[in-house]
Amino acid sequence: MRKVVVTGIIVVGLVLLYFIHDGKISLVKEKEHYNPIEGVIEEEDLPKKSSLSLIMVGDALIHESVYNDANNNGNYDFKPMLEEIKPIVSKYDLAYYNQETILGGKEIGLSTYPCFNSPYEVGDAFLDAGFNLVSLANNHTLDRGQRAINNSCAYWKDKSAYVAGSYCSIEERNFTKVHEKNYISYAMLSYTTVDNGLTRPYGKEYYLNLYDPEQVKKDIEQYRDKVDVLMVAMHWGEEYTHSPVYEEREIANYLASLGVDIVIGSHPHVVQPIEYIGDTLVIYSLGNFISAQRGVEKLTGLMVSLNINKDLNTNEITLSDIEAELLYTYSDNNKGYRGNFKVYPYTKLNDNLLPDYKTYYNKYMNIVAGDKDYIKRGDYNGDSK
Asked if residue 34 has pLDDT above 90, the reply is no
Asked if residue 38 has pLDDT above 60, the reply is no
Contact predicate 335/323, CB 8 Å = no
Is pTM beyond 0.85? Reply is: yes
What's the confidence (pLDDT) of residue 310? 98
What's the confidence (pLDDT) of residue 43? 58
Distances (CA, A) of 188 to 37, 129, 136, 177: 25, 20, 11, 8
What's the confidence (pLDDT) of residue 205? 97
Task: Give the DSSP H or E segment for 249.
Answer: helix 246-257
* Cα(209)–Cα(277) distance, integer angstroms: 24
Question: At 47, is the pLDDT very low, low, confident or very high (cuts 50, 70, 90)?
Answer: confident
Question: At 23, is the pLDDT very low, low, confident or very high (cuts 50, 70, 90)?
Answer: very low
Asked if residue 62 has pLDDT above 50, the reply is yes
What's the confidence (pLDDT) of residue 17? 40
Distances (CA, A) of 285 to 91, 230, 237, 288, 363: 23, 18, 9, 9, 16
* Cα(293)–Cα(372) distance, integer angstroms: 30
Residue 43, amino acid: E
Flag the least confident range among 24-28, 114-118, 209-213: 24-28
Flag the least confident range among 11-15, 45-49, 150-154: 11-15
Domain boundaries, the chain: 2-45, 49-377
Please name the residues in contact with 93: beta carbons below 8 A apart, sequence gap of 6 or more: 52, 53, 54, 181, 182
* Cα(367)–Cα(201) distance, integer angstroms: 40
What's 120-156 look like in SS3?
CHHHHHHHHHCCCEEECCCCCCCCCHHHHHHHHHHHH
For 49-377, the fitting CATH number among 3.30.420.40, 3.90.1330.10, 3.60.21.10, 2.40.128.20 is 3.60.21.10
What's the confidence (pLDDT) of residue 16? 40
Q: How do residues 308-326 score in pLDDT, each as one tens digit?
A: 999 999 999 999 999 999 9
Please name the residues in contact with 55: beta carbons below 8 A apart, sequence gap of 6 or more: 88, 89, 92, 94, 95, 96, 303, 304, 305
Asked if residue 241 has pLDDT above 50, the reply is yes
